[in-house]
Structure 1
Amino acid sequence: MRVVAQRLGAAEPRVAASILHLGLAARFWSVGLGAAVLLGAVPSLERAWLRIPDQGPIDLWTPQEPPASGPLLDQLHETVLIGQLEPLATAVRSIVPLSGRLLLGNSASALAGTLRVLDGHAPGAARALVAGLLDRPPLAGTGTLHSGPRGTAFRRTSCCLYYRVGPGTGVCGDCCFTRPPERPREARQTRQP
């Protein structure tokens, strides 16, 4: 998390932890949902490994292993959400105090982001799987998915804390806020004569 905090210039460990979690969730959903939609199977992610390069996004590799079996929706739920993202959220929360709801929102937001990328390749299959995952616990209630002829939008019900990266930072594209909330200290400073 220190590396992410340094790159972001974020002073709060909670902010760096949330953004790191969101990035990792995006990598896992990209591999899982992308393979499900484009190849018809979800790869096992049990031996996946991650690397934070000196520059650029987090790398994720997984060795070739037999894919999971069963309906794709169940495979994605078990392999990505239960097998990877729930343990990741538990690990993050053991280091930094973050709401479980915030981390579920990150998982849902990362899933919707993956759908936006896949929309141009296999919109029907991808949208159906994502809608199914977002209707199923524990992601049910984490946000609202809107799909239409111009693509997909998602509005989450929790905040990832991106707006707290630094002064002038806006909100993420899926944010529950329309503009960054005012922080208590900022509110006091703007009210002083």
Structure 2
Amino acid sequence: MNPAPDRRPADGAGKVGHPDYGRLAAVGPYFALDTPATPGAGPPPGFRPLPELYGTGPDAPLARRIRVVAQRLGTAEPRVAASILHLGLAARFWSVGLGAAVLLGTVPTLERAWVRIPEQGPLDLWTPPEPPLPAPLPLADRLYEAVLMGQLEPLAGAVRSAVPLSARLLSGNAASALAGTLRVLDAHAPGPARALAAELLARPPLAGTGTLRTGPRGAAFRRTSCCLYYRVGPSAGVCGDCCFTRPPAPRRS
């Protein structure tokens, strides 16, 4: 059964005055945000502070992960692996942020979050309780600050430090990930999710990255850039929101 939109006060607080982030996991693994099992407990073993994810250098977490993704995809092009990894991480952060906004009426800042990179599946995220803000900004502003500026901007910087990729491609990835998150939430709270996604897609640096259309059959997005997935191999094809309708022909030398 799909969870219904939260009807509690706007801060989405539970019994102890903190948002019940445990409800997000019911939507899917990309939406999960773990919190302490007991008051005052720290993160589980293997977690590290989230800002460490954005370190630079050949041995930084993202640089190592790009090499792992390239091996699993079977590509010799690091920029392809870097783009696919970035797209997945962007989807993870948007899922937590937009999911909390439309289902709980709040947005986790992730300022004190911890992270663990599993062998398979989405990034593990853990955060201690965050007290409700006394005078919170509108949800769109909070999403912009917490997700786009707080996570996706440093993420893009770390990815570009490891592999040269255009800022336009990474902005397109961020927009595509937001639209993908919207498509999942469309089954739970289509009105709020669509309104927030449309407002965020109208703001720089997402403005101009694509066109969002919504209707009775759901939400659809067509980006103005390509994530490079088609370069994984001849059978990869293009993504559903790609600017190309078919894989581009190989360049002649």
Alignment TM-score > 0.5, same fold = yes
Show the counterpart of 1:101.
168
Shift of 1:67: 5.3
Shift of 1:52: 3.0
Any runs of at least 4 consecutive aligned residues in structure 1 with deviations exceeding 6 A, and if so which? none
- The answer as to 2:83 corresponding to 1:18 is yes
Partner secondary structure for residue 204 of structure 2? coil
Residue identity matched to 2:88? G
Measured in 2, the distance between the counterparts of 1:162 and 1:169 equals 7
Q: Deviations over 1:84-104 (max 9, x none)?
A: 001110111111110000000
Show the counterpart of 2:206.
139
Measured in 1, the distance between the counterparts of 2:122 and 2:198 equals 26
Residue identity matched to 1:164? R
- The answer as to 2:125 corresponding to 1:35 is no
Show the counterpart of 1:50.
115
The structure where helix makes up a greater share of residues is 1
Shift of 1:32: 0.2
Shift of 1:29: 0.1
Equivalent residue runs for 1:146-185 within 5 Å: 146-184=213-251
Measured in 2, the distance between the counterparts of 1:89 and 1:17 equals 10
Shift of 1:53: 2.0
- 8 Å CA contact 2:92, 2:122 repeated in 1: no
Measured in 2, the distance between the counterparts of 1:130 and 1:7 equals 32
- 8 Å CA contact 2:93, 2:147 repeated in 1: yes
- The answer as to 2:141 corresponding to 1:74 is yes
Partner secondary structure for residue 119 of structure 2? coil
Structure (1 or 2) with the larger CA radius of gyration: 2
Shift in alpha-carbon separation, 1:92–1:38, aligned structure 2, 3 A: same
Shift in alpha-carbon separation, 1:58–1:8, aligned structure 2, 3 A: farther
- Give me the identity figure in percent: 81
Shift of 1:171: 0.7
Structure 1: tracts of 5 or more residues without a match: 189-193
Alignment RMSD, CA only?
Answer: 1.4
Shift in alpha-carbon separation, 1:9–1:67, aligned structure 2, 3 A: farther
Q: Deviations over 1:60-96 (max 9, x none)?
A: 3333223562100000000000010011101111111
Measured in 1, the distance between the counterparts of 2:165 and 2:124 equals 24
TM-score, normalised relative to structure 2: 0.70
Shift in alpha-carbon separation, 1:28–1:165, aligned structure 2, 3 A: same
Shift in alpha-carbon separation, 1:184–1:67, aligned structure 2, 3 A: farther
- 8 Å CA contact 1:44, 1:66 repeated in 2: no
Show the counterpart of 2:49.
none
- 8 Å CA contact 2:172, 2:209 repeated in 1: yes
Show the counterpart of 1:191.
none
Measured in 1, the distance between the counterparts of 2:207 and 2:71 equals 33
Shift of 1:173: 1.6
Measured in 2, the distance between the counterparts of 1:148 and 1:49 equals 37
Measured in 2, the distance between the counterparts of 1:167 and 1:48 equals 40
Measured in 2, the distance between the counterparts of 1:10 and 1:57 equals 21
Shift in alpha-carbon separation, 1:49–1:172, aligned structure 2, 3 A: farther
Structure 2: tracts of 5 or more residues without a match: 1-65
Partner secondary structure for residue 219 of structure 2? strand
Residue identity matched to 1:7? R
Shift of 1:168: 1.5
